Structure 1
Amino acid sequence: MKLNELFENTDSTVEIKGIKTSSRDVEEGDLFVCIKGIGTDRHDFADDAIAKGAAALVVSRDIGEKSVPVIMVEDTNREMAYIARKFYGCPDDEMTMIGVTGTDGKTSTSTIIQTLLTDEKCGYIGTNGVLCRGYEADTPNTTPDADKLYAFLREFRNRGCEYTAMEVSSEALMRGRTKTIAYDISVFTNITSEHINIHGTFENYLHDKSRLFAQTKKDGYCIINGDDPNANVMIEASVGHVLTYGRKEEADLRIVSFDIERGHTPIRFQWKNEIFEVDSPLLGEFNVYNLAAAILVMFAAGYSIEDFRARIASLAVDGRVTFIPTGKEYCVMVDYAHTPNGIANILKLVDTFGFDRIVTVIGAAGTRDPYKRPLMGKTICDHPKTYGIFTYEDPRNEDPADIADDLTRDIRDYDNYEIILDRREAIQKAVDMLGDNECALILGKGNEDEQILKDGPIHFNDIEEARKAIEERNKA
């Protein structure tokens, strides 16, 4: 696309091959948009972008004369989504767009939706990356910046996808990354206090989450967890037709009953006065709710239960409730739970297995929401069968010892925890101290492949480390 096709206020016909917001990613022929972040102003990197081959710049302040065309706009952050959407040919108009938001459950619900629709028809964007059949990419954010987001959407459509199921984070909604998307179906999983360092107050966080339902088409559907205490906030914000799920009698899709068993969960639902049953391989009450949300999405998209029932048996969510084989009478599990609510839910699930003790390894991300840390520690150590090992988790520029201090602030007089800052040592200790019918629960990262330290990211995967720890213990 030529620059004057993208912007009406220029006569330049320079060819634009891509859009980038980070000078590190710029390639020959790219348009570099100088957005502003919390601690970084990309205007300061304009010369770096030009040196790497940027064909033109978009700015919102004077940066002087440059060797490439410079387009001035009032606010680069606000314009970014519009620029990317136009450049990539509005791929969101060519697919059914499904957005999922909530404190917990976004990844699982989005993944379930993709599985029920099939990865041939549906692309996924979220914490576990960017996926459709034959295509896979990484994203540093749950919801990518608009330049990457629209590139992914175009890739999906070019590969034949008819749907996109994407996680929509509160920060993305607040910063307008997805504001140009009119969602066909939006989903609310639940909300508890999180990201207060970004939003300032819980009320702001709640409001930013609700933006998704105001961005839903009038003839679209807003799928709401009616059992959540803040469901009405989402319902009031909803532009589309509201459908609720949950255990209440008035729910459109009612969870009638379920039994959590080793390896599967039989569930009975009620929809339009008819009862139907499914047998899910996903464990935990929280996954009953996640599946309910996904089933309602399928109904909203025009499918019947018989259209996708067989696919329920193949449901799996990478890095969630992942059992690592031990070959012995002890258990090791890895899960992504990293909020007080998520931790409580996973402990509730593990309780159903009847273990005599649960040794829990967990940290808290550096420079992220320190307000929740004491509650995380207390949630773990208040559990009658739990022993906590507190360690680092993406400490970034924070001292891991300070993070561990926050996690243990309200449990100083407890005797069922210790601090081992080295995560590898913490995992090994947890596995080594297990007896028969005891479980090591490694939380916070799921199947993510890196830890972000002060000097940058390193490769580190909890599932890999758990396997190594089991091997070390079993050969001892």
Structure 2
Amino acid sequence: MIGIETENTTELTALSDRAQEIGRDGLFVALRGDRADGRQWADAVRSRGGYVLSDQPGERTIVHPDPRAVYPLLLQAYYDYPALKLTMIGVTGTNGKSTVTQLLYDMLSGAGRRCCLIGTGRIVIGDEVRFSPNTTPDPLTLTRLLDEAVRRGIDTVIMEVSSQALAMHRVDGLLFDLAVLTNLKQDHLDYHKTLKAYQRAKFMLFEKLKEKGTAILNQDDPVTQRWLSQLHRPVFTYGRDSVNFRIHPVAETLDSITFDLNGHRVEAPLAGAFNMRNLTAALACGFALDIPWAAMLEFAHHAALPEGRMEIVCRQPVLAVVDYAHTASALEAMLKHWRKVADQRHTRLSVVFGCGGDREADKRPLMGRIACAYADQVVLCDDNPRTEDPDRILAQIAAGCDGSQKIIRDRAEAIKFVLDGAQTDDIIVVAGKGGETSLIQDTAKTCPNDRLLIERYFG
């Protein structure tokens, strides 16, 4: 299965792609990345009596043409296949992954399961919350986390699975009980290059279903119809046109949704019609795991979104909202909701946002166009420019605007500018960072948390 042949029968003392962890009879996996080439530390590992797995031959070396592909498989074997001892739920999609995984974590925990949540910015295991730099951790971190979950008596793991993680083999060797698709829009083409390659990466999750695993797909997304013919596992679909979990919208307010689902009235304190789909995806998972409808409907009554997702920071004298929307489709869905609310309240809608640097430049003018189409006031500011020229990023966003936009690079100053000029009951949305607590420029991180800035403004 792994494709490595060796006559060496040494019992390994360690397995890692971190050279400093490898001593005598340990195996160092030399990975080549964008920032570093692990092969440069191979000699140091050999000098300590360790072995090397590499695509280049050498002393005390096991040669494989693609160490990155085989590494997760070796890790699963080394840690005695922890994923097979857990109920594994993977959620993928362009938008909504964090919301669906959080809803699932809360619902299943409330139903008595001991859950671990792995997602954007954080890992929750037991009573601990840990920072996570990636949506889906690297193979070593992930495998060790699953092993820890087994040892701590966790029975269910709910994780976001990004397209990059799938393409980079981070979840190879894992098998899932449930795999969920939220939606598939144009995203991450800086990495995947084409929409077809992006879709192909997402589909890889569904090829990792256990023999009795179930796929849960958004019927309202065009890709689902094509995928249905390619899947060889049980499938539940959800959406307005679904035959399994059909959503019939009933009512939507500023911060609540009501809809009928399979003969049940679902009421939840969640903002945005798109959250009908996110909540239904979670309920479909609950159904697949034999959670009673009564328990799921009770959960829906007090369901909560993750921090920084359609988060209302204050209601008076203005309605101020922080949201993570950083893709064109997410920005449009979010602003569409608040435009509707603003029209009902006869108030203005303002949006403050920017775009991240070093990635996805093509989306910038589109996001500018969307913002100007829905908001009465658009203020552009920095959002993780990284190593790219911030002025260039903002100019590219402005190219899609109608000329009415204002540019204030400093994010804190941009938020203050909009709040200073706001009238009573205006709606102000700060988009792009959600609950993030740092802004990355070059290699430095500053900490203008959007929610905290708004709270401080109002004392």
TM over 0.5, yes or no? yes
Aligned mates of 2:337, 2:23 — CA distance in 1 = 51
Q: How does 1:5-404 map to 2 (within 5 A)?
A: 9-13=7-11, 15-16=13-14, 19-22=15-18, 26=21, 32-46=28-42, 56-62=51-57, 70-118=61-109, 121-248=114-241, 250-270=242-262, 275-316=263-304, 317-325=306-314, 328-354=316-342, 355=345, 356-383=347-374, 385-404=375-394
Distance 1:265 1:216, change over 3 A: same
Q: Tell which deviates more after alignment, 120-129 or 219-228.
A: 120-129
The superposition leaves residues 388-426 of structure 1 with CA deviations (integer Å, 9 ceiling, x where unpaired) of 111111111101111111111122xx2431111111211
Deviation at 1:353, TM superposition (A): 2.4
Aligned mates of 2:270, 2:42 — CA distance in 1 = 48
The superposition leaves residues 37-83 of structure 1 with CA deviations (integer Å, 9 ceiling, x where unpaired) of 234322234467789x9955432224x66xxx654433211111112
Aligned mates of 2:156, 2:440 — CA distance in 1 = 33
Q: Tell which deviates more after alignment, 25-34 or 130-139.
A: 25-34
* 3-state secondary structure, aligned to 1:237: coil
The superposition leaves residues 322-367 of structure 1 with CA deviations (integer Å, 9 ceiling, x where unpaired) of 11126x3212110101111101111122123235222211111111
Aligned mates of 1:48, 1:312 — CA distance in 2 = 55
Distance 1:86 1:7, change over 3 A: farther
8 Å Cα contact 2:135/2:161 also seen in 1 = yes
The superposition leaves residues 175-227 of structure 1 with CA deviations (integer Å, 9 ceiling, x where unpaired) of 22112112111111111111111111111111111111122223211111101
Give unpaired runs (5+ residues) of structure 1: 1-5, 472-476
Amino acid at match of 2:8: T
Which one of the candidate residues 449, 452, 457 is aligned to 2:445? Answer: 457
Distance 1:224 1:320, change over 3 A: same
Aligned mates of 1:247, 1:171 — CA distance in 2 = 29
Amino acid at match of 1:439: I
Deviation at 1:266, TM superposition (A): 2.1
Alignment of 1:443 with 2:436, yes or no, is no
Amino acid at match of 1:348: K
* 3-state secondary structure, aligned to 2:291: coil
Distance 1:131 1:161, change over 3 A: same
8 Å Cα contact 1:260/1:352 also seen in 2 = no
8 Å Cα contact 1:34/1:43 also seen in 2 = yes
Distance 1:60 1:352, change over 3 A: same
Q: Paired residue for 2:458?
A: 470
Distance 1:141 1:54, change over 3 A: farther
Distance 1:32 1:448, change over 3 A: farther
Deviation at 1:313, TM superposition (A): 3.0
Give aligned-pair identity as a percent: 29
8 Å Cα contact 2:352/2:414 also seen in 1 = yes
* 3-state secondary structure, aligned to 1:398: coil
8 Å Cα contact 2:323/2:430 also seen in 1 = yes
* 3-state secondary structure, aligned to 2:333: helix
Distance 1:253 1:126, change over 3 A: same
8 Å Cα contact 1:216/1:238 also seen in 2 = no
* 3-state secondary structure, aligned to 1:437: coil
* 3-state secondary structure, aligned to 2:132: coil
Aligned mates of 1:200, 1:114 — CA distance in 2 = 33
8 Å Cα contact 1:28/1:55 also seen in 2 = yes
What TM-score comes out, normalization by structure 2 length?
0.91
Aligned mates of 2:16, 2:265 — CA distance in 1 = 48
8 Å Cα contact 2:257/2:271 also seen in 1 = yes
Aligned mates of 2:142, 2:258 — CA distance in 1 = 37
8 Å Cα contact 2:12/2:27 also seen in 1 = no
Distance 1:12 1:236, change over 3 A: same
8 Å Cα contact 1:363/1:444 also seen in 2 = yes
Deviation at 1:174, TM superposition (A): 1.3
Aligned mates of 1:318, 1:20 — CA distance in 2 = 34
Distance 1:439 1:363, change over 3 A: same
* 3-state secondary structure, aligned to 2:222: coil
Amino acid at match of 2:255: G
Aligned mates of 1:123, 1:39 — CA distance in 2 = 30
The superposition leaves residues 131-161 of structure 1 with CA deviations (integer Å, 9 ceiling, x where unpaired) of 1332322221111111111111122222222
The superposition leaves residues 68-122 of structure 1 with CA deviations (integer Å, 9 ceiling, x where unpaired) of x654433211111112212222111011111111100111011111111017522
* 3-state secondary structure, aligned to 1:114: helix
Distance 1:330 1:190, change over 3 A: same
Distance 1:49 1:111, change over 3 A: farther
CA RMSD of aligned residues (A): 2.5
Distance 1:349 1:72, change over 3 A: same
Aligned mates of 1:399, 1:237 — CA distance in 2 = 43
Deviation at 1:251, TM superposition (A): 2.4
Distance 1:14 1:213, change over 3 A: closer
Deviation at 1:7, TM superposition (A): 9.4
Aligned mates of 1:431, 1:71 — CA distance in 2 = 61
8 Å Cα contact 2:411/2:448 also seen in 1 = no
Deviation at 1:279, TM superposition (A): 1.5
Distance 1:226 1:54, change over 3 A: farther
Aligned length: 449
Aligned mates of 1:54, 1:247 — CA distance in 2 = 61
Deviation at 1:254, TM superposition (A): 0.6
Q: Paired residue for 1:420?
A: 408
Deviation at 1:32, TM superposition (A): 3.8
